[in-house]
């Protein structure tokens, strides 16, 4: 049990330190796959950390989840079937199911404990999404799921941990090939790819590995404060380059037709997010 008022120090990097004060510890356990803690912080609300790394907070999760989901769904324009790999906190599932056009959202999560504990302690993340009739929860290794399933999807969102432990395989070329197999023609894959200023190799490696399978590979950025070190990168991969180049007016019309309200995402952000600074461009080789 963490002492109240102590600091939770993230251990993602050996040369950079981020700490969040623990105002109240809600739960801690070693699941079948990872060390998990959920606690409250007066600035960011409830916080989930796995294996010493901050995964999500109530205070800034909306930026991450909106950009992970609405970018591909609205870029695609006709997505009815969505797959989320990882995402046991339910935030990505929540955002996907805000689209009435989505008829089915499958969430493949390796650690069932994460789902149960987040439903209990972070209910605002899922906001009832786990109980939506369009949601299907599959407890499975994401890499095995995409390698074996016969289902096909318009959009796949990889809501993974960092490339270590259970999340490592979700950055492999074989995994990306499995995702390609599961996409319908014109489908879009998006991945979380870390903070380029701190984890540049993730962007470089994913660019190469995605490029082995997809005709159009790009990255876009969004600021998530508790993913420390600067803007976070998301990978984008499709065989349909037009999906990434959707005109602003079309995105605005799709957003309006969806009838959703977002705190961060909008059509102008969608277009601008693909503009990369030179240091990130350099990571693409």
User: Domains of the chain, with CATH numbers?
Assistant: 7-56 (2.30.140.10), 61-283 (3.40.50.150)
Among candidate residues 94, 44, 47, 86, the one with its CA nearest the CA of residue 66:
94
159 is catalytic: yes
Q: Are 158 and 191 in contact (CB under 8 A)?
A: yes
pLDDT at 231 over 70: yes
Q: pLDDT tens-digit profile of 126-148? A: 999 999 999 999 999 999 999 99
Token output for 236: 């984008």
**All residues at 6 or more sequence positions from 261 whose CB lies less than 8 Å from its CB, including other chains:** none
Average pLDDT over residues 25-33: 93
Helix (H) or strand (E) holding 255: helix 248-258
Average pLDDT over residues 76-95: 98
What pTM was computed for the model?
Answer: 0.96
**Which one from 159, 216, 240, 279 is the annotated catalytic residue?**
159
pLDDT at 163 over 90: no
DSSP 3-state of 173: helix
Instruction: Determine the pLDDT at residue 156.
Output: 98
pLDDT at 170 over 90: no
Instruction: Determine the pLDDT at residue 162.
Output: 79
Percent of the chain whose predicted confidence (pLDDT) is above 70: 97
pLDDT at 114 over 90: yes
Instruction: Determine the pLDDT at residue 285.
Output: 83
Instruction: Determine the pLDDT at residue 1.
Output: 59
pLDDT at 164 over 80: no
Average pLDDT over residues 51-59: 96
CA dist list (Å): 35 to 48, 50, 110, 232, 265:
11, 5, 14, 24, 32
**Among positive and negative, which fits the CA dihedral 181, 139, 8, 62?**
positive
Q: How far apart are CA 58 and CA 198, in angstroms?
A: 23
Instruction: Determine the pLDDT at residue 75.
Output: 98
Q: pLDDT tens-digit profile of 268-284? A: 999 999 999 999 999 99
Instruction: Determine the pLDDT at residue 168.
Output: 80
Residue pointed to by tokens 């996907």: 96
Average pLDDT, the chain: 95
pLDDT at 5 over 80: no
Instruction: Determine the pLDDT at residue 266.
Output: 98
pLDDT at 4 over 80: no
Q: How far apart are CA 190 and CA 265, in angstroms?
A: 16
């Amino acid at each position: 049990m963490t002492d109240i008022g102590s600091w939770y120090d993230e251990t993602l990097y050996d040369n950079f330190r981020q700490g969040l004060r623990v105002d109240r510890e809600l739960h801690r356990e070693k699941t079948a796959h990872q060390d998990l803690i959920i606690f409250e912080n007066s600035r960011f609300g409830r916080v989930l950390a796995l294996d010493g790394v901050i995964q999500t907070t109530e205070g800034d999760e909306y930026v991450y989840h909106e950009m992970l989901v609405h970018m591909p769904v609205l870029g695609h324009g006709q997505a009815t079937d969505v797959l989320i790999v990882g995402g046991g906190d339910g935030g990505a599932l929540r955002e996907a199911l805000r689209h009435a056009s989505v008829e089915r959202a499958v969430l493949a999560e390796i650690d069932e404990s994460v789902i149960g504990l987040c439903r209990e302690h972070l209910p605002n993340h899922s906001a009832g999404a786990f109980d939506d009739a369009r949601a299907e929860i599959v407890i499975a290794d994401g890499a095995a799921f995409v390698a074996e399933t016969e289902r096909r999807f318009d959009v796949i969102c990889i809501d993974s941990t960092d490339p270590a432990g259970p999340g490592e395989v979700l950055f492999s070329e074989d995994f990306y090939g499995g995702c390609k197999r599961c996409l319908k023609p014109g489908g879009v894959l998006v991945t979380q790819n870390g903070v380029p200023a701190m984890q540049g190799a993730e962007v470089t490696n994913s660019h190469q590995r995605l490029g082995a399978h997809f005709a159009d590979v790009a990255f876009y950025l969004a600021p998530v404060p508790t993913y420390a070190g600067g803007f976070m990168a998301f990978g984008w991969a499709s065989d349909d380059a037009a999906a990434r180049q959707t005109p602003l007016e079309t995105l605005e019309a799709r957003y309006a037709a969806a009838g959703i309200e977002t705190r961060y995402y909008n059509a102008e952000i969608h277009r601008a997010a693909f503009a990369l600074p030179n240091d990130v461009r350099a990571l693409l080789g």
